[in-house]
Amino acid sequence: MTFLFCQGIAFASWASRIPVIKERLHLSEGQLGTILLMLPVGQLATMALSGKLVTKYGSAKVLSIVPIAYALVLCSIAFAQNAWQLGVILFLFGVTGNMCNISVNTQGVATEQIYKKSIMTSFHGAWSIAGFTGALVGLLTMNLGLDTLPHFLIILAFVTANTLINQRYLVPGKSPQKEKRSFFPNRREAFCNWASLDFFSMATEGAMFDWSGVYFKEIVHAPEKFVVVGYASFMIMMAIGRFVGDGVIRKLGRKRTLQYSGILMFVGMMTSVVFPQFIVCTLAFMLVGIGVACNVPSIYSIAGQNKNVPSGVALAMVSSISYLGFLMGPPLIGYIAEVFSLRYSYGVFACFGLLMFGMVGRLSLFKETQSN
């Protein structure tokens, strides 16, 4: 959980500074959307490599190195002087972030197997708490007049200390080697279905992570010191949803939980479009946070616990499709906003919740995984 927290606070620190960096580099919505594309491109480009590294060397060894590299790349964002430099750095940010993601979730699967009950959603709650904490740290540093670099150096020190202190507690061992052809050809449809559900959720998360601050600044017209309120409200409700999510899943089942999640995603985003007032949008972003809370950890848990494929490889398979949500989401928001408006963009993305609701109702992929 501490490693998930560190990964979350590093990403949230970047997200909280996006409006400032956008203004400093004089970027339009379309330009920002294109640059934001580089982060998920870096994630997607190294998806297979991350799975192989975790399988070969073990998630514990990988996770004892990559968080520090992730925080170092975060610090380098502060040195970007133009759009192309920021794009290159965000690509590297995506590369290191993806390696953190695969290794830490593989650790989560291994730990869940030790406890023999569903706890993956609660693990991801630590990531969400970190996102909320990162938003508060961003708000504090901006109000204190600290520039981006000192802010990011504080995060680097925190991540480095956690890695050095807590790496000895990681679950040891490598993923078992299995025949490569024993799973994927026969289970491709199931994996694609799981990943597609993650796609809708992660596209919505990407829109909230990268554009919520801009939305509050340009559409809600929130005061400069409160532009991170939308992001913070989204993150804290996503965290609460994840900490209670395991109990909800046990009571309602994965299928109904994901259906309700899709409805909440739709209602929340559409409300922010129709009523762009500060209080209403804050509440609406809370609904979106609850809506996306259980989706990603639930699918990761299902995929990672399959006995026919090493966890790192299984998670990479699902992530390679689902991360297209991050790949397409933030830049698509920017392109639509460039042609129409940012409100119109959020209206389009609200439909992802309805698509998710409909898809879950039509799929039978939960019959064989209900016990998980």
Distance CA 302, CA 288 (A): 23
Of 289, 287, 284, 286, the residue nearest 272 (C-alpha)? 284
CB atoms within 10 A of CB 193: 19
Higher pLDDT, 231 or 60: 60
Give the model's pLDDT for residue 183. 39
Q: Which residues contact 260 (CB under 8 A, 6 or more apart)?
A: 252
The pTM assigned to this predicted structure is 0.77
Distance CA 81, CA 303 (A): 41
CA-to-CA dists, residue 245 to 118, 126, 232, 239, 291, angstroms: 10, 13, 19, 9, 11
Distance CA 283, CA 279 (A): 6
**What is the helix (H) or strand (E) element at residue 294, kind and residue range?**
none
**What is the helix (H) or strand (E) element at residue 223, kind and residue range?**
none
Q: Per residue in 81-133, pLDDT tens? A: 999 999 999 999 999 998 998 999 889 888 888 887 778 888 888 887 887 78
Q: Angle of helix 83-115 relative to helix 47-57, nearest 10 degrees?
A: 40
∠ CA 124-129-132 to the nearest 5 degrees? 130
**What is the helix (H) or strand (E) element at residue 338, kind and residue range?**
helix 324-339
∠ CA 53-54-56 to the nearest 5 degrees? 65
Average pLDDT on 306-331 reads 74
Distance CA 45, CA 93 (A): 12
Q: Which residues contact 100 (CB under 8 A, 6 or more apart)?
A: 3, 7, 63, 66, 67, 70
- Start-to-end CA span in the chain (Å): 21
CB atoms within 10 A of CB 83: 14
Q: Per residue in 175-224, pLDDT tens? A: 454 444 443 444 556 667 777 788 889 889 888 877 888 899 899 998 88
pLDDT at 274 over 90: yes
pLDDT at 142 over 80: yes
Give the model's pLDDT for residue 279. 95
pLDDT at 30 over 90: no
Do residues 18 and 144 touch, judged by C-beta distance below 8 A?
Answer: no
Q: Within 13 A of 199's CA, how many CA atoms are on the CB side?
A: 20
Mean predicted lDDT score pLDDT of the chain: 85
Q: Which tokens sit at 361?
A: 């109702």
pLDDT at 363 over 90: no
Q: Per residue in 333-354, pLDDT tens? A: 888 888 888 899 999 999 999 9
